Amino acid sequence: MIRHSQIFRGKVVHERMGPRRHKFSYPMTFFSFELGELSQISENACVFGYNKMRPLRINDSDYLQGSSKPILEQLDTILPKEEPGQHTLLISSPRYFGYAFNPVNFHLRMKGNLLLFAVAEVNNTYGDRHVYALKELQKTGDNKWTACSPKEFHVSPFNDLSGNYYFSFHITEDDIFLGVDLYKEGCCIMKTWLEGKARKLSNFNILRYAFMHPFSTAFNSMPRILWQAAVLYYRKRMKIYSRPLPNSENTLIDRDLN
Protein backbone atom coordinates (compact mmCIF):
# COMPACT_ATOMS: atom_id res chain seq x y z
CA MET A 1 0.00 0.00 0.00
CA ILE A 2 1.33 3.42 -1.03
CA ARG A 3 0.88 5.58 2.09
CA HIS A 4 3.04 8.67 1.76
CA SER A 5 4.10 9.08 -1.91
CA GLN A 6 2.16 11.63 -3.96
CA ILE A 7 2.19 13.55 -7.21
CA PHE A 8 1.86 17.33 -7.14
CA ARG A 9 0.52 19.82 -9.65
CA GLY A 10 1.58 23.41 -8.98
CA LYS A 11 4.16 25.99 -9.97
CA VAL A 12 7.72 27.17 -9.47
CA VAL A 13 8.38 30.90 -8.98
CA HIS A 14 11.56 33.01 -9.02
CA GLU A 15 11.46 36.65 -7.98
CA ARG A 16 14.60 38.79 -8.04
CA MET A 17 14.40 42.06 -6.11
CA GLY A 18 17.79 43.50 -6.97
CA PRO A 19 19.89 44.86 -8.45
CA ARG A 20 17.34 44.38 -11.29
CA ARG A 21 13.78 43.31 -10.64
CA HIS A 22 12.78 40.17 -12.47
CA LYS A 23 10.07 37.57 -11.87
CA PHE A 24 8.85 34.47 -13.65
CA SER A 25 6.54 31.57 -12.89
CA TYR A 26 6.03 28.23 -14.60
CA PRO A 27 3.50 25.43 -14.05
CA MET A 28 5.17 22.40 -12.51
CA THR A 29 4.43 18.72 -12.01
CA PHE A 30 6.62 17.08 -9.37
CA PHE A 31 6.61 14.12 -7.00
CA SER A 32 6.93 13.34 -3.32
CA PHE A 33 8.44 9.85 -3.11
CA GLU A 34 8.61 8.08 0.22
CA LEU A 35 11.99 6.39 -0.13
CA GLY A 36 10.78 3.16 1.42
CA GLU A 37 7.98 2.93 -1.18
CA LEU A 38 10.06 3.29 -4.36
CA SER A 39 10.31 -0.45 -5.07
CA GLN A 40 6.58 -0.91 -4.50
CA ILE A 41 5.72 1.99 -6.82
CA SER A 42 7.99 0.47 -9.47
CA GLU A 43 6.16 -2.85 -9.19
CA ASN A 44 2.67 -1.31 -9.40
CA ALA A 45 3.12 1.55 -11.91
CA CYS A 46 3.91 0.28 -15.40
CA VAL A 47 5.42 3.59 -16.58
CA PHE A 48 7.64 4.15 -13.51
CA GLY A 49 10.86 2.36 -12.68
CA TYR A 50 13.14 2.39 -9.68
CA ASN A 51 16.62 1.77 -11.09
CA LYS A 52 14.83 0.27 -14.11
CA MET A 53 14.44 1.41 -17.72
CA ARG A 54 10.95 2.91 -17.80
CA PRO A 55 9.57 6.15 -19.32
CA LEU A 56 9.77 7.69 -15.82
CA ARG A 57 12.41 6.48 -13.42
CA ILE A 58 14.32 7.25 -10.26
CA ASN A 59 17.95 6.17 -10.10
CA ASP A 60 19.79 6.08 -6.78
CA SER A 61 22.89 7.31 -8.60
CA ASP A 62 21.17 10.56 -9.63
CA TYR A 63 21.10 11.83 -6.04
CA LEU A 64 23.44 12.95 -3.27
CA GLN A 65 26.91 11.35 -3.64
CA GLY A 66 25.95 9.79 -6.97
CA SER A 67 26.47 6.32 -5.49
CA SER A 68 24.65 3.15 -6.49
CA LYS A 69 23.68 2.76 -2.82
CA PRO A 70 20.00 3.40 -2.00
CA ILE A 71 19.26 7.08 -1.46
CA LEU A 72 18.32 6.40 2.17
CA GLU A 73 21.75 4.86 2.81
CA GLN A 74 23.42 7.86 1.20
CA LEU A 75 21.40 10.12 3.50
CA ASP A 76 22.80 8.23 6.50
CA THR A 77 26.10 10.08 6.00
CA ILE A 78 24.29 13.44 6.24
CA LEU A 79 21.40 12.96 8.69
CA PRO A 80 20.78 10.77 11.74
CA LYS A 81 19.52 7.37 10.64
CA GLU A 82 15.80 6.95 10.12
CA GLU A 83 14.18 5.56 13.28
CA PRO A 84 10.98 3.49 13.69
CA GLY A 85 7.92 5.66 13.10
CA GLN A 86 9.81 8.00 10.77
CA HIS A 87 9.81 8.20 6.98
CA THR A 88 11.75 10.21 4.42
CA LEU A 89 10.24 12.02 1.44
CA LEU A 90 12.15 12.87 -1.73
CA ILE A 91 10.69 15.95 -3.45
CA SER A 92 11.90 15.72 -7.02
CA SER A 93 11.04 14.99 -10.62
CA PRO A 94 12.06 11.63 -12.06
CA ARG A 95 13.89 11.14 -15.31
CA TYR A 96 11.58 11.50 -18.31
CA PHE A 97 12.72 9.16 -21.09
CA GLY A 98 16.19 9.22 -19.60
CA TYR A 99 16.52 12.97 -19.00
CA ALA A 100 15.99 15.30 -16.07
CA PHE A 101 17.62 18.31 -14.50
CA ASN A 102 16.44 19.19 -11.00
CA PRO A 103 17.95 22.49 -9.78
CA VAL A 104 16.98 21.47 -6.24
CA ASN A 105 15.74 18.29 -4.61
CA PHE A 106 14.49 18.15 -1.03
CA HIS A 107 14.86 15.20 1.33
CA LEU A 108 12.39 15.58 4.20
CA ARG A 109 12.62 13.42 7.33
CA MET A 110 9.14 13.18 8.83
CA LYS A 111 7.51 11.68 11.89
CA GLY A 112 3.81 11.72 11.19
CA ASN A 113 3.11 15.32 10.14
CA LEU A 114 6.19 16.65 11.95
CA LEU A 115 9.23 17.73 9.94
CA LEU A 116 12.36 16.66 11.82
CA PHE A 117 15.19 17.38 9.38
CA ALA A 118 15.57 18.55 5.80
CA VAL A 119 18.29 18.37 3.18
CA ALA A 120 18.26 20.74 0.22
CA GLU A 121 20.25 19.12 -2.60
CA VAL A 122 21.28 21.80 -5.10
CA ASN A 123 22.54 21.12 -8.64
CA ASN A 124 24.03 23.82 -10.85
CA THR A 125 24.40 23.88 -14.61
CA TYR A 126 28.16 23.34 -14.30
CA GLY A 127 27.71 19.76 -13.06
CA ASP A 128 28.36 20.43 -9.37
CA ARG A 129 26.16 19.28 -6.47
CA HIS A 130 25.91 20.63 -2.93
CA VAL A 131 23.75 19.83 0.09
CA TYR A 132 22.44 22.08 2.84
CA ALA A 133 21.71 19.82 5.81
CA LEU A 134 19.06 21.59 7.90
CA LYS A 135 19.08 19.93 11.30
CA GLU A 136 17.84 22.89 13.36
CA LEU A 137 14.37 23.72 12.15
CA GLN A 138 12.21 26.37 13.81
CA LYS A 139 8.48 25.71 13.98
CA THR A 140 6.63 28.89 13.04
CA GLY A 141 3.02 27.68 12.89
CA ASP A 142 0.81 24.72 12.08
CA ASN A 143 2.77 22.54 9.64
CA LYS A 144 5.27 25.37 9.07
CA TRP A 145 9.04 25.43 9.68
CA THR A 146 12.01 27.63 8.78
CA ALA A 147 15.79 27.21 8.75
CA CYS A 148 18.78 29.27 7.66
CA SER A 149 22.25 28.60 6.32
CA PRO A 150 25.12 30.65 4.88
CA LYS A 151 25.36 30.43 1.11
CA GLU A 152 28.24 28.08 0.22
CA PHE A 153 27.63 27.07 -3.38
CA HIS A 154 27.67 28.80 -6.77
CA VAL A 155 24.35 28.42 -8.56
CA SER A 156 23.33 31.44 -10.61
CA PRO A 157 26.05 33.32 -12.53
CA PHE A 158 24.20 36.51 -11.54
CA ASN A 159 24.91 36.07 -7.81
CA ASP A 160 28.19 35.79 -5.95
CA LEU A 161 28.75 33.55 -2.92
CA SER A 162 27.82 36.13 -0.30
CA GLY A 163 24.61 36.04 1.69
CA ASN A 164 22.40 33.66 3.63
CA TYR A 165 19.60 31.34 2.61
CA TYR A 166 16.34 31.25 4.53
CA PHE A 167 14.35 28.10 3.92
CA SER A 168 10.62 27.79 4.57
CA PHE A 169 8.48 24.65 4.60
CA HIS A 170 4.71 24.27 4.73
CA ILE A 171 3.70 20.63 4.48
CA THR A 172 0.22 19.14 4.83
CA GLU A 173 -1.50 16.06 3.46
CA ASP A 174 -3.04 18.15 0.68
CA ASP A 175 -0.40 20.67 -0.36
CA ILE A 176 3.23 21.67 -0.04
CA PHE A 177 5.24 24.90 -0.14
CA LEU A 178 9.05 24.89 -0.24
CA GLY A 179 10.74 28.28 -0.29
CA VAL A 180 14.37 29.44 -0.50
CA ASP A 181 15.07 33.16 -0.04
CA LEU A 182 18.50 34.77 -0.44
CA TYR A 183 19.40 37.64 1.89
CA LYS A 184 22.37 39.98 1.72
CA GLU A 185 23.13 42.53 4.43
CA GLY A 186 19.69 42.02 5.92
CA CYS A 187 17.81 42.56 2.66
CA CYS A 188 16.05 39.91 0.60
CA ILE A 189 17.40 40.02 -2.95
CA MET A 190 15.75 36.88 -4.32
CA LYS A 191 12.80 34.62 -3.52
CA THR A 192 12.19 31.21 -5.00
CA TRP A 193 9.49 28.74 -4.17
CA LEU A 194 7.82 25.54 -5.29
CA GLU A 195 4.23 24.80 -4.38
CA GLY A 196 1.62 22.30 -5.39
CA LYS A 197 -1.60 20.46 -4.61
CA ALA A 198 -1.36 16.76 -3.85
CA ARG A 199 -2.85 14.03 -6.01
CA LYS A 200 -2.84 10.29 -5.36
CA LEU A 201 0.16 8.59 -6.91
CA SER A 202 -1.34 6.10 -9.34
CA ASN A 203 -0.82 4.95 -12.92
CA PHE A 204 -3.75 7.10 -14.01
CA ASN A 205 -2.47 10.26 -12.32
CA ILE A 206 1.08 9.75 -13.58
CA LEU A 207 -0.30 9.58 -17.11
CA ARG A 208 -2.67 12.47 -16.52
CA TYR A 209 -0.30 14.96 -14.88
CA ALA A 210 3.15 13.91 -16.07
CA PHE A 211 2.58 12.77 -19.64
CA MET A 212 -0.24 15.19 -20.45
CA HIS A 213 1.95 18.09 -19.28
CA PRO A 214 5.49 17.05 -20.30
CA PHE A 215 6.80 20.61 -20.48
CA SER A 216 5.86 21.40 -16.88
CA THR A 217 8.29 18.84 -15.49
CA ALA A 218 12.06 18.75 -14.95
CA PHE A 219 12.22 17.69 -18.61
CA ASN A 220 11.96 21.39 -19.50
CA SER A 221 14.10 22.91 -16.72
CA MET A 222 17.26 23.53 -18.72
CA PRO A 223 15.63 25.42 -21.65
CA ARG A 224 13.81 27.65 -19.15
CA ILE A 225 17.04 28.32 -17.22
CA LEU A 226 18.88 29.27 -20.42
CA TRP A 227 16.05 31.53 -21.57
CA GLN A 228 15.83 33.42 -18.27
CA ALA A 229 19.63 33.75 -18.17
CA ALA A 230 19.54 35.31 -21.63
CA VAL A 231 16.90 37.79 -20.49
CA LEU A 232 18.95 38.79 -17.43
CA TYR A 233 22.16 39.16 -19.41
CA TYR A 234 21.06 40.75 -22.69
CA ARG A 235 17.96 42.69 -21.66
CA LYS A 236 18.63 43.57 -18.03
CA ARG A 237 22.43 43.81 -18.26
CA MET A 238 23.10 41.83 -15.10
CA LYS A 239 26.70 41.33 -14.02
CA ILE A 240 28.19 37.87 -14.50
CA TYR A 241 30.12 36.12 -11.70
CA SER A 242 32.42 33.31 -12.79
CA ARG A 243 32.20 29.90 -11.12
CA PRO A 244 34.55 29.68 -8.14
CA LEU A 245 36.21 26.38 -7.30
CA PRO A 246 34.02 24.50 -4.78
CA ASN A 247 35.71 24.45 -1.37
CA SER A 248 33.03 23.12 1.00
CA GLU A 249 32.84 19.61 2.42
CA ASN A 250 29.11 19.79 1.66
CA THR A 251 29.80 19.95 -2.08
CA LEU A 252 29.30 16.28 -2.85
CA ILE A 253 30.07 16.41 -6.58
CA ASP A 254 32.67 18.72 -8.14
CA ARG A 255 32.75 18.58 -11.96
CA ASP A 256 36.54 19.08 -11.92
CA LEU A 257 37.04 15.94 -9.81
CA ASN A 258 34.59 13.67 -11.62
pLDDT band at 219 (very low <50, low <70, confident <90, very high): low
* pLDDT of 215: 64
Write out pLDDT tens, residues 18-62: 888 999 999 999 999 999 999 999 998 888 999 999 989 999 999
Flag whether pLDDT at 258 surpasses 80.
no
Predicted TM-score of the model (pTM): 0.94
Mean pLDDT of 159-180: 96
Mean pLDDT, the chain, as a whole number?
A: 92
More confident residue, 216 or 241: 241
Confidence at residue 216, expressed as pLDDT on a 0 to 100 scale: 67
Decide if pLDDT at 63 tops 90.
yes
- Residue 90, pLDDT score: 98
C-alpha dihedral over 219, 76, 109, 178, to 10 degrees? -40
Q: Is the model's pLDDT at 213 over the cut of 80?
A: no
pLDDT exceeds 80 at position 217 = no
Give the long-range contacts of residues 225-234, CB within 8 A, separation 24 or more: 225/101, 225/103, 225/125, 228/14, 228/22, 228/24, 229/157, 229/158, 231/22, 232/16, 232/20, 232/22, 232/158, 233/158
Q: Give the tens place of pLDDT for each residue, 125-157.
A: 999 999 999 999 999 999 999 999 999 999 999
Nearest to 196 by CA among 184, 186, 205, 187: 205
Average pLDDT over residues 107-127: 96
User: What mean pLDDT comes out for the span 69-92?
Assistant: 96
